């Protein structure tokens, strides 16, 4: 066929008739498969932008058109590095990724996935082309630009550990580290971003990046510490993000002073910037200081609280909220003094689910302080919007709201019923937080509250939760049971016996504390335990457990079973029975335990044996 027919096929892609488009796409597909010359011809006819446009415009919404376009794009990708460079240049990757993530058409998903697989094969090669040291400057610029695009795509393809492994196994680390010293800022930023995502929550890859040899005399970390001093705020931010991810991956512990004295102050300073840098900086700062009191204090000392408060007070103008109160009561008080609590409450009704979830997270952190909870959050009217969020359309918001209520145990507005409803959610995190909230609600609560919870939850559901396949659910269900201790005697004792036989240390510890709570009750509660020889045998065995926390819990059971405030009760009889069971001899041996807490509890238990 002459070139006029190929030109005509490309022109027919502009037709408004989907049938004409599909016919043209199939013609192009049949001509280019396995034919590099025809691929080059169609690329010269600028067919790739037209193909990509089918995924971006309403005119290209016809599914068959998009399927055929994806197949053709994939065929071009199998033509080699130059073709992939053209696809990347014209933005083919993003719409193909969107086909996989948001479309429901299985044929379209398969076609897009095949095209991406072909593109991905060459991405790492494009990071490090032979022409990085070409004769002509314009060739070098084009080469580095291609490498920049490849690094940008890689950064967006590292969502899972499997993806990280695939990219790393293709040789990404040396190529990306080489790009750090290429001298072109946009390519350096893209390489930093890709490295950051490759080592996120991945200590093994963090260490491999740190150990990767660079063409410079400096190590990758040293290069990043130099780049963080760049005059460009964007370069500073992405360098800080990469160093933060390496730090969180425990790959650069020897650079902790650099993190404290360079990375953290840089992030706080970037909170004053405008645009995307200002929007991203709080995310990176929050990730850096999470669960680290020393860094949290340093952030507060650097003035982070007031700067972040400005984000919250303008939350109506933002698409996202990033503020999370830090650390101890002094830092929480600083948040209150910044007068942002009303804005946090207002943010719970924001149109963006991310802002609503972030507002819940703020409230959760603030509610760790009882004084703030009573005098500020409740007064600010936190209950109504918080309970509304338990029915939010976003599961993320529901989960965060539920976790917040774990600290703010409010019974108003049908809170118990809503929490019980969430206990039945298919989302395990949501279920866990709902049980946790119920546990806190009944802690030291009046009998009326406990009865209300059990009426809504039901005994059958309680037993199901205790036998749940998720260990975390079991553990919190036992915690709830520990605070309730209100199942029928026979059913409760049967559950206790079955759980004491398990191997999981956390479950054993929780069930021992359930026994403790029962043993602190009336005389008939103690008799219920004493009437179960199997339970007593398990308690005795766990007094020699390798975990000191379990030994302590087991001795506590003994202390509560022998404790008496009334000389006329049957305590002496229980003590004699427990002595015959061999408990007294074991407690005497525990006086030499390596753990101080165990020795102290053993001393208390032994003193109660000696009084009888």
Among residues 210, 179, 174, 176, which one has the least CA distance to residue 194?
176
Higher pLDDT, 534 or 447: 534
pLDDT at 307: 82
Query: Residue 322's pLDDT band (boundaries 50, 70, 90)?
Result: very low
Within 8 A by CB and 6+ apart from 153, the residues are 88, 93, 123
Is residue 115 within 8 Å of 96, Cβ to Cβ? Answer: yes
Distance CA 137, CA 411 (A): 70
Q: Is 344 exposed, middle or buried (0-12, 13-18, 19+ CB in 10 A)?
A: buried
Residues of the chain with pLDDT > 70: what percent? 81
- The mean per-residue pLDDT over the stretch 503-528 comes to 81
pLDDT digits (tens, 9 = 90+) for 113-138: 788 777 776 776 666 644 444 444 55
- The mean per-residue pLDDT over the stretch 562-575 comes to 70
- The mean per-residue pLDDT over the stretch 553-558 comes to 92
Higher pLDDT, 189 or 132: 189
Within 8 A by CB and 6+ apart from 170, the residues are 123, 124
Distance CA 441, CA 405 (A): 9
Q: Kindly tell me if the per-residue pLDDT of 384 is higher than 90.
A: no
CA torsion 317→321→324→325, rounded to 10°?
Answer: 10
- The mean per-residue pLDDT over the stretch 292-312 comes to 80
Q: Which of 188-202, 237-251, 493-507 has the lowest mean pLDDT?
A: 493-507
Is residue 229 within 8 Å of 264, Cβ to Cβ? Answer: no
Residues of the chain with pLDDT > 90: what percent? 27
- Domains in the chain (CATH in brackets) are 501-612 (1.25.10.10)
- The mean per-residue pLDDT over the stretch 63-74 comes to 91
Q: Kindly tell me if the per-residue pLDDT of 366 is higher than 80.
A: no
- The mean per-residue pLDDT over the stretch 422-435 comes to 85
Within 8 A by CB and 6+ apart from 492, the residues are 481, 485, 518
Higher pLDDT, 408 or 579: 579
Q: Kindly tell me if the per-residue pLDDT of 237 is higher than 90.
A: yes
Distance CA 48, CA 20 (A): 18
Among residues 228, 333, 327, 317, which one has the least CA distance to residue 281?
228
- The mean per-residue pLDDT over the stretch 27-50 comes to 91
Q: Kindly tell me if the per-residue pLDDT of 110 is higher than 70.
A: yes
Higher pLDDT, 9 or 326: 9
Higher pLDDT, 387 or 251: 251
Q: Kindly tell me if the per-residue pLDDT of 442 is higher than 90.
A: no
């Amino acid at each position: 066929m002459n070139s006029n027919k190929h030109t005509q096929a490309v022109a027919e892609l502009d037709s408004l008739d989907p049938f004409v488009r599909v016919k043209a796409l199939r013609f192009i597909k049949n001509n280019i498969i396995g034919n590099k010359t025809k691929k080059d011809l169609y690329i010269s006819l600028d067919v790739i932008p037209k193909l990509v446009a089918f995924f971006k415009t309403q005119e290209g919404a016809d599914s068959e058109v998009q399927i055929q376009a994806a197949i053709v794009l994939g065929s071009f990708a199998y033509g080699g590095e130059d073709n992939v460079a053209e696809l990347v240049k014209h933005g083919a990757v993003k719409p193909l990724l969107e086909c996989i993530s948001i479309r429901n058409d299985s044929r379209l998903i398969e076609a897009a996935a095949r095209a991406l697989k072909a593109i991905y094969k060459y991405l790492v090669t494009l990071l490090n082309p032979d022409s990085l040291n070409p004769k002509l400057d314009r060739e070098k610029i084009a080469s580095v630009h291609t490498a920049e695009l490849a690094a940008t795509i890689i950064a967006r393809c590292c969502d899972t550990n499997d993806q990280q492994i695939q990219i790393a196994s293709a040789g990404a680390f040396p190529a990306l580290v080489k790009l750090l010293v290429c001298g072109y800022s946009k390519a350096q930023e893209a390489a930093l971003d890709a490295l950051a995502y490759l080592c996120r929550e991945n200590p093994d890859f963090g260490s491999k990046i740190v150990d990767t040899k660079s063409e410079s005399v400096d190590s990758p970390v040293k290069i990043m510490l130099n780049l963080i001093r760049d005059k460009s705020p964007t370069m500073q931010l992405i360098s800080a993000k990469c160093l933060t991810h390496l730090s969180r991956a425990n790959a650069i512990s020897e650079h902790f002073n650099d993190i404290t004295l360079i990375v953290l102050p840089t992030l706080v300073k970037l909170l004053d910037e405008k645009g995307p840098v200002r929007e991203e900086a709080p995310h990176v700062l929050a990730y850096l200081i999470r669960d680290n009191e020393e860094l949290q204090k340093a952030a507060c000392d650097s003035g982070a609280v007031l700067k972040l408060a400005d984000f919250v007070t303008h939350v109506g103008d933002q698409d996202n909220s990033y503020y999370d109160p830090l650390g101890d009561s002094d830092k929480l008080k600083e948040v209150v003094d910044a007068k942002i609590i009303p804005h946090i409450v207002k943010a719970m009704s924001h149109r963006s689910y991310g802002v609503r979830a972030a507002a819940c997270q703020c409230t959760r952190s603030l509610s760790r302080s009882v004084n703030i909870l009573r005098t500020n959050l409740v007064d600010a009217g936190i209950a109504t919007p918080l309970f509304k969020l338990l029915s939010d359309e976003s599961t993320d918001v529901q989960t965060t709201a539920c976790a917040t209520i774990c600290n703010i145990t409010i019974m108003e507005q049908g809170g118990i019923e809503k929490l019980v409803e969430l206990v039945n959610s298919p989302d395990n995190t949501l279920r866990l937080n709902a049980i946790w909230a119920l546990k806190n609600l009944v802690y030291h609560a009046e009998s009326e509250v406990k009865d209300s919870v059990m009426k809504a939850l039901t005994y059958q559901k309680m037993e199901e939760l205790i036998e749940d396949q998720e260990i975390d659910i079991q553990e919190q269900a036992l915690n709830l049971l520990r605070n309730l201790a209100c199942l029928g005697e026979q059913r409760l004792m049967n559950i206790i016996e079955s759980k004491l036989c398990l191997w999981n240390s956390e479950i054993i510890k929780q069930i021992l504390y359930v026994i403790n709570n029962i043993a602190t009750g009336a005389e008939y509660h103690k008799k219920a335990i004493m009437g179960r020889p199997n339970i007593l045998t398990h308690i005795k065995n766990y007094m020699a457990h390798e975990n000191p926390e379990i030994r302590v819990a087991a001795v506590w059971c003994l202390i509560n079973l022998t404790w008496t405030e009334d000389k006329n009760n049957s305590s002496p009889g229980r003590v004699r029975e427990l002595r015959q069971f061999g408990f007294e001899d074991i407690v005497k041996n525990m006086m030499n335990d390596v753990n101080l807490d165990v020795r102290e509890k053993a001393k208390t238990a032994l003193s109660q044996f000696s009084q009888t």
